[in-house]
Amino acid sequence: MTETNRIEYKRELTDGLEKEVIAFLNYREGGILHIGIDRKGNTYGLADADGDQLKIKDRLKNNIRPSALGLFDIVSEERGSKNILKIIVASGPEKPYHLKKYGMSEKGCFIRLGSAAEPMPQKMIDELFAKRTRNSISKIKSGRQDLSFSQLKIYYEEAGYTLGKAFSKNLELLTEDGAFNYAAYLLADKNNTSIKVAKYSGTTRTDLIESNEYGHECLVKATKQVIDKIAVENRTTTKITAKERQQANLWNPIALREAIINAFVHNDYTNEITPKVEIFTDRIEITSAGGLPEGLSKQEFFEGFSVPRNKELMRIYKDLELVEQLGSGIPRILGHYGKESFSFSDNFLKMTFAVKEDTNETVIKVDDREGSQKGGVIGGVKGGVIGGVIGGAIDAAESLTKRQKEVLKLIAARPSITYNEIAEALSINESAVGKHITAIKNKGFLVRQGDTRGYWQINLENN
């Protein structure tokens, strides 16, 4: 474990944090900063990782310009029973990034050179500023200013957030003069954004048998509708035995979901071109506008280097648990499909996934633990609640969110279920599963019995 051009170690949280992050923002590959590990790779850990995580987010939000929100992730990890923090930084689209305190000067701008953050020469600062993206969706003024956001607010509430009166400013939905920008337009309840999902009877576009149109509403809602539609098209055959349930899909559902979200988040909306999905008998094609981001090679793209085209959308999709960590989507797709599935041009990126006729992608063990009706655990449920009554009892729990109820029902059906299996069943990431389970435990519905080889116990008696 040594420092590289993309890896930096800090034994503790110091005053130089912003400098290191700015250097990665200005670097074409971004980078990762570990807090709690010294420069020799020795793990010391952090006494208050949760508190440091909040401090880091606040400092990066307030001390760096242009805004870096949506361009970094802060991940808590455990190494050798010690807690550390990992800050994943994407290459920013609005270089040069700088310390708010010093502005675009050699004292405020930094760049990654080798394994160090160095002051940026004034000539480079001027050149980067001249190239800065001016036609981003955050800078384009929405043609409509009578926008409402009730759908977006509902999604945030379901994720456990409350959008206050200043949400449009906090989510960067305003131009510099205070008007709604194009990002706000895309996320508003009503707009003219249309996403097509077409289905053909053969392997060419000759015979169109179904044409669906989504959109004219919040882009998040349209994304979810397209995901749901493709999930229906991704036919599943099921074989159930005494010990397991085997499912085979036309396409890997995890890769498919990542590809759809990637197309929505990274689409170039500045020319009013939207993503499209086309289903053929032998493949599915997902196309988004915009080629590779400037300065990013194909190799870097496949390795997961992240250069978000629409950082405002990226930030919101992460808040709503549609996106996991920066740069995680493409590697997850490559876990199931080869690089040949991607094709690039100057103006478009297309992902093509061939139909898998004989696939047993998902195998879920069926828990066969038996229980007694008197006391103890019955199928993992405490208090004598069994069978179809479980679902009704969970649905009646007013303190649980809709997603938390879905998680709890999966656990009730199989108390030994893993985080990964819950994530796949609900098409969310594992870190989101962890957050939901923590919330459910804190509300008194869930107790873990045993270690990793144990099971979950549900308590519905007093809830």
Q: Note down the domain range covering 259.
A: 134-366
DSSP string, 256-297: HHHHHHHHHHH--GGGT---EEEE-SSEEEEEEE--SPTT--
Give, as one character, the DSSP assignment of residue 210: E
Looking at 131, 165, 190, the residue that finishes a domain is 131
Mean pLDDT of all residues belonging to the chain: 85
Alpha-carbon distance of 43 to 172, in angstroms, equals: 37
Let me know whether 35 and 111 are in one domain: yes
pLDDT at 382: 46
pLDDT tens readout for residues 308-318? 889 899 999 99
Let me know whether 44 and 101 are in one domain: yes
Let me know whether 283 and 406 are in one domain: no
Give start and end residues of each alpha helix (H) in 387-457. 389-395, 402-413, 419-426, 430-442
CB 332 within 8 A of CB 258: yes
Q: How many CB atoms lie within 10 A of CB 304?
A: 17
CB 122 within 8 A of CB 102: no
Give, as one character, the DSSP assignment of residue 366: P
pLDDT tens sequence for the chain (463 residues): 688 999 999 999 999 999 999 999 999 889 999 999 998 889 999 999 999 999 999 999 999 999 898 899 999 998 888 999 999 999 988 899 999 999 999 999 999 999 999 999 999 998 888 777 666 898 889 989 999 999 999 999 988 888 888 999 999 999 988 999 999 999 999 999 999 999 999 999 999 999 999 989 999 999 999 999 998 898 765 555 545 555 568 899 889 999 999 999 999 998 788 999 999 999 999 999 988 877 678 888 888 887 788 989 999 999 998 987 777 788 889 989 999 999 999 889 999 999 976 443 333 333 333 333 333 333 444 443 434 556 777 888 888 888 888 888 888 877 878 888 888 788 777 778 888 888 888 888 888 876 656 678 888 765 6
pLDDT at 247: 57
Q: What is the pTM of this model?
A: 0.66
Give, as one character, the DSSP assignment of residue 54: H
Let me know whether 126 and 144 are in one domain: no
Q: How many CB atoms lie within 10 A of CB 290?
A: 19
Looking at 86, 107, 131, the residue that finishes a domain is 131
pLDDT at 389: 58
pLDDT at 452: 58
pLDDT at 135: 64
Query: How many structural domains does the chain have?
Result: 3
Is 1 inside a domain boundary? no
Is 441 inside a domain boundary? yes
Give, as one character, the DSSP assignment of residue 321: T
Is 416 inside a domain boundary? yes
pLDDT at 91: 92
Position of tokens 């420092």?
A: 3
What b/e readout covers 2-27, taking b as 16+ CB neighbours within 10 angstroms? Answer: ebeebebbbbebeeebbbbbbbbbbb
Q: From the centroid of its chain, how far is CA 258?
A: 9
DSSP string, 85-151: EEEEEPPPSSPPPEETTT-SSTTTBEEEETTEEEEPPHHHHHHHHHH---SSTTTSBPS------HH
Let me know whether 142 and 115 are in one domain: no
